[in-house]
A and B are shown apart, each in its own frame.
Chain A
Amino acid sequence: MSLSLEALRNRIITSIHGRSLGLDEHDRLCGIKGRREVITAATSGTVGNLPNYGIITVATSTDATWTLDDPEVGCEVKIMTGSASTGEHVIQTDNATIKSSFSTTQVEFTMQGGGAGMTLVGLSTSMWGILTKSSTTAVFVTS
């Protein structure tokens, strides 16, 4: 059940850049090895909002709060703790809400401990949906 890079490139029917990037018969982008994302490393001293794209690490030795830019529809952002600190890493939305299992009107989430993370996707310009969450200590949404 493997699918090699060569096999994918053989399926390109609309080339964008030779065999390195193109569209297959289903209009799916294929041919690339991967995609590099921006990584933002935020600490308790970071000024300004967290971006609404890419990968974000947040680190604090105690408790700290950051504000996340409102979503772009259909775009993901991955946020994770950048240390094993037991401090509460609180991510507040700017104006958007977070659709969660507890309510559709939550406005922040908390991560605690190493390896905690959450992937959000913009369902509208005012609502985030949660795609994945993982934790060793705590990851939960709060109002």
Chain B
Amino acid sequence: MALTLATIRNGIITSLHGRRLGFDVNDVLVGSKAIKRPITDATSDTTGTDLPNTGIVSVVTTTNDTWALTAPLAGVEVTIMTGSDSTGEHTIAGSTAAGTAATFQSSESSTGPGIVLQGGNASMTLVGVSTALWRATSRIGTTRAHVSTA
């Protein structure tokens, strides 16, 4: 079941950059080894700065802290993970471009205003469903990684 890079590149019928990037017969983007995503490190000293709504975001606090998450863009993912083993509550609150609250949807709640991560390597990947709604597509956590209900 292998699919080599050379095989994938052989399927390019519309080249964007030689054999390194192009479209195949199904209009699927092919040819690159990977896509590099930005990584943001947020700490208890940066709670006044909104977290970006894309890429990978690490949050660290030794106690309990809350960060605001930039308003979602429909169809765009962001992954938020704890950056230490701290037992503090890492709370991420949603907001919209208009300054109102964005909501989060998960299996636990459809109307949560935020998410809480606790413990080492807790993480949640969110996708913007609209400009005011995030939906969790995956989450892991040993202590807590869930949508808060209040």
Contact = CB atoms under 8 A, between A and B. Distances in A.
B120 A101 contact: yes
Interface string B115-135: 000011111010001100100
B138 A131 contact: yes
Interface residues of B, number: 50
Contact of B85 (A38, A40, A53, A104): A104
Given A73-B39, A82-B1, A101-B142, A36 B28 contact: yes
Given A28-B73, A130-B140, A20 B36 contact: no
Contacts, number: 123
A131 B8 contact: no
A66 to B, nearest CB: 14
A107 to B, nearest CB: 15
Interface string A83-115: 000000000000000011111100000000000
Q: Which 4 A-B pairs have the closest CB atoms?
A: A39-B3, A53-B34, A101-B142, A41-B2
